[in-house]
Amino acid sequence: MSMYRELHRGAARATVLRTVGTRERRSHLTAPRVPTVGIDIGGTKVMAGVVDADGTILEKVRTETPDKSKSPKVVEDTITELVLDLSDRHDVHAVGIGAAGWVDADRNRVLFAPHLSWRNEPLRDRLAGRLAVPVMVDNDANTAAWAEWRFGAGRGEDHLVMITLGTGIGGAILEDGQVKRGKYGVAGEFGHMQVVPGGHRCPCGNRGCWEQYSSGNALVREARELAAAESPVAYGIIDRVGGNIPEITGPLITELARSGDAMCVELLQDIGQWLGVGIANLAAALDPSCFVIGGGVSAADDLLIGPARDAFRRHLTGRGYRPEARIVKAQLGPEAGMVGAADLARLVARRFRRANRRRVERYERYARAGRG
């Protein structure tokens, strides 16, 4: 194939992708049942998997970014290598990417990524120019929420809000089969709602953000402060880490809480109560039928979600006179973002194939007319 034809094909694909609308409204029902690749991009790792139309992961691969580089080019190279590797063994029809950062409303540019050097990065177009299939890019919380709605804890819900508890707090809103991204694509940054004016300083630059009181970072901060002060309630965790306070982690706190350590149980209760307060605020603004709690901290199960439900009921506006949203734990675990990205990419594959088919039909009509 000539260089001109290659460039023309790339330009045509980019044109089709730019015309893809942002509405998914239940169009997954008519999406082609073809395998697609989902990519989950974190600060130091890239996870990729081939996912079928039922949300089943057929194969999964994971790699760290080379030398933990945060360069956009290095991460794009890594994504391309993973997709090409999976394409050797699977008939891949589209690629979906869930990125930890702000993605614009057109789902092309990563406006900002806190853990990577992406600033207004045209990720979709750059990857579409390197891969032989259409590409979809979205925020990782949006893709996780989509997966939970399609295949997990949110099935059957018309109005769903997902809260992802990790080092910080992310989130997503889904109504009537459509991810609500906001005018500029950055809706769902719930972790930076201010809940304590003048409170703990947040890396975002503000004080008192919700994620400073209900997140993995908040959990670890409180445990380390108690251990550093040699509080009697912290003796159990101090012994466990041999006095090396930096070794105190969220998973360790959860493990000790499950074994009955009173301080760790109390810390998870505190985190859960702040979680419930924030959820009550979101219910006042959004009135969903279900909150799905995901992310690494959700592994604490009822040690966290039980206190969250109690605090939610205590702080819900109009409590006693309105239906209460369900609060449930996410079901798909750390693969949710990858599965959701792959499923959203299936919609792009359908639209791309339809537009491509129309282009071919027009070409054939013109060719017949020319022969006549």
Say if residues 36 and 92 touch (Cβ distance below 8 Å): yes
What does the pLDDT average to over 85-97?
A: 91
Please indicate whether the domains covering 36-145+334-362 and 157-329 agree at the CATH topology level. yes
The whole-angstrom separation of Cα 233 and Cα 208 is 26
The whole-angstrom separation of Cα 21 and Cα 181 is 12
pLDDT tens-place string over residues 317-368: 999 899 999 999 999 998 999 999 999 998 887 655 555 554 444 555 555 5
Residue 150 or residue 128, greater confidence: 150
pLDDT tens-place string over residues 198-242: 999 998 889 999 999 999 999 999 999 999 999 999 999 999 999
Spatial strand order of the sheet with 110-112 comes to 102-103, 110-112, 119-121
If DSSP codes are grouped into helix, strand and coil, which group holds residue 235?
Answer: helix
Domain range annotation of the chain: 36-145+334-362, 157-329
How many beta carbons lie within 10 A of that of residue 156, not counting itself? 8
Spatial strand order of the sheet with 290-294 comes to 178-179, 169-175, 159-165, 290-294, 326-329
Query: What phi, psi does 7 have (nearest 5°)?
Result: -65, -40
Query: Which DSSP symbol is given to 209?
Result: B
Topology classification of domain 36-145+334-362: Nucleotidyltransferase; domain 5 (3.30.420)
Strands (DSSP E) contained in the chain are 36-41, 45-51, 57-64, 95-99, 102-103, 110-112, 119-121, 135-139, 159-165, 169-175, 178-179, 290-294, 326-329
Confidence band, pLDDT 50/70/90 cuts, at residue 91: confident
pLDDT tens-place string over residues 287-302: 999 999 998 888 888 9
pLDDT tens-place string over residues 43-87: 668 899 999 999 999 999 998 876 556 677 888 888 999 999 998
The whole-angstrom separation of Cα 6 and Cα 287 is 49
CATH: 3.30.429.10, 3.30.420.40, 3.40.47.10, 3.90.1150.10. Which one for 157-329? 3.30.420.40
Residue 8 scores a pLDDT above 60: no
